[in-house]
Amino acid sequence: MNNNLIIPNHIGIIMDGNGRWAQEKGLARTMGHKKAVETLKDLCIYMADVGVKYCSLYAFSTENFKRDIKEVNFLMDLFITIFEKEFAFLIDKGVKVIFSGRRKPLSDKVLKAMDKIVEDTKSNKKLVLNICLNYGSHAEIIDTTKKICDMYKNGKINLDDIDEEFISKNLYNDLPPLDFVIRTSGELRLSNFMMWQASYAEFYFPKTYFPDFNSIEFDKAILEFNNRNRRFGGIK
Ligand code: IPE
Ligand code: IPE
Ligand code: MG
């Protein structure tokens, strides 16, 4: 990658198109999810190396439970393998893993694997990998609202304490705003991904299916980000 390019501080990736990637090759949809794991591992190494500080990955939405139970179970088992084995290399790569999303109704086995990778990588400082699993923006806003109402009810805060910074700090994780959101596969929507955090993000919708989203595709995305003129409501 060209050294003069600005690397977005916080990148969101909606990893979409696994099923179509497989179907177009005459394979089962699940094969697309499997290939996506390889793509993701390479991408994590690449992002850590080029200096991305925060990356939020959309792995499973609150709505994805609507899928065929077999596909949901396959994904849950895949998550366990990823967090128990496939992601072990992140410990030495300086990547800190955190999760955003509702723990309920995830199984104990999935939760245990999640908790372990968080624990194993908690001291890492290079890249924060925020994995959005059983995540939905609406759920996050509901859960945050309840948390804040509780604080108010217990006399811990006053109404005037609630401002943008306070809301941000009380979301599932206290993260900087998203600068750049990439959604692979050509779909042009957020599908309930980090609506609060994406308020001033730049959006990029490559047609590439996620399993084919390699470092060359990532470089193209960064180049596109560098051609954007971010104004944040001001004049420039
Ligand atoms: C994204 O790929 C992975 C998840 C949502 C878990 P899809 O499974 O949505 O693939 P398409 O969009 O059907 O091709
Ligand atoms: C969004 O993709 C969720 C993830 C990538 C995890 P979907 O494939 O579930 O989104 P829709 O249904 O096409 O909006
Ligand atoms: Mg999809």
Give pLDDT tens digits for 130-143. 999 999 999 999 99
User: Which residues are within 8 A (CB) of 6 and not within 5 positions of it... i.e. 6 or more apart?
Assistant: 225, 226
Which residues have CB under 6 Å of ligand 1? Answer: 15-20, 60, 64, 75, 185
- Determine the average pLDDT of the residues in 90-100: 98
Instruction: Look at residue 176 in the predicted model and tell me its pLDDT.
Output: 98
- Determine the average pLDDT of the residues in 20-38: 98
Per the prediction, the chain carries an average pLDDT of 98
Ligand nearest to the CA of 75: 1
pLDDT at 88 over 80: yes
pTM metric for this prediction = 0.98
User: Which position among 2, 3, 18, 64 bears the catalytic label?
Assistant: 64
- In the chain, the percentage of residues whose pLDDT exceeds 70 is 100
pLDDT per residue as tens digits for the range 172-184: 999 999 999 999 9
E strands, the chain, in order: 10-14, 54-61, 95-100, 127-135, 180-183, 202-204
* Mutate which of 34, 182, 185, 191 for ligand 1 pocket (most atoms within 8 A of beta carbon): 185
Q: Separation of 44 CA from ligand 3 center, angstroms?
A: 21
pLDDT band, very low/low/confident/very high, at 1 (cuts 50, 70, 90):
confident
Q: Distance between CA 79 and CA 76 in Å, rounded?
A: 5
pLDDT at 221 over 80: yes
pLDDT at 107 over 80: yes
> What single DSSP character describes residue 83?
H
pLDDT at 197 over 90: yes
- Determine the average pLDDT of the residues in 181-193: 98
64 catalytic? Reply is yes
List of long-range contacts for 212-221, beta carbons under 8 Å, 24+ apart = 212/21, 212/39, 213/15, 213/39, 213/43, 213/182, 213/184, 214/39, 214/42, 214/43, 215/42, 215/43, 215/46, 218/43, 218/46, 218/47, 219/1, 221/180, 221/182
Instruction: Look at residue 236 in the predicted model and tell me its pLDDT.
Output: 75
- Determine the average pLDDT of the residues in 85-94: 97
pLDDT at 231 over 80: yes
174 catalytic? Reply is no
* Cα 129 to Cα 71, 118, 120, 150, 161, distances in angstroms: 24, 10, 13, 29, 29
Contact between residue 197 and residue 220 where contact means Cβ atoms under 8 Å apart: no
- Determine the average pLDDT of the residues in 9-30: 98
Q: Distance between CA 110 and CA 3 in Å, rounded?
A: 39
- Determine the average pLDDT of the residues in 5-20: 98
- Single-letter code of the amino acid located at 196: W
Ligand nearest to the CA of 100: 2
Instruction: Look at residue 102 in the predicted model and tell me its pLDDT.
Output: 98
Ligand 2 atom index nearest CA of 15: 5
- Determine the average pLDDT of the residues in 90-99: 98
pLDDT at 214 over 90: yes
Q: Which residue has the higher pLDDT, 210 or 1?
A: 210
Nearest CA to ligand 2 atom 8: 16
Domains defined for the chain, CATH in brackets: 10-136+176-225 (3.40.1180.10)
- Determine the average pLDDT of the residues in 86-105: 98
pLDDT band, very low/low/confident/very high, at 4 (cuts 50, 70, 90):
very high
* Mutate which of 79, 187, 190, 205 for ligand 2 pocket (most atoms within 8 A of beta carbon): 187
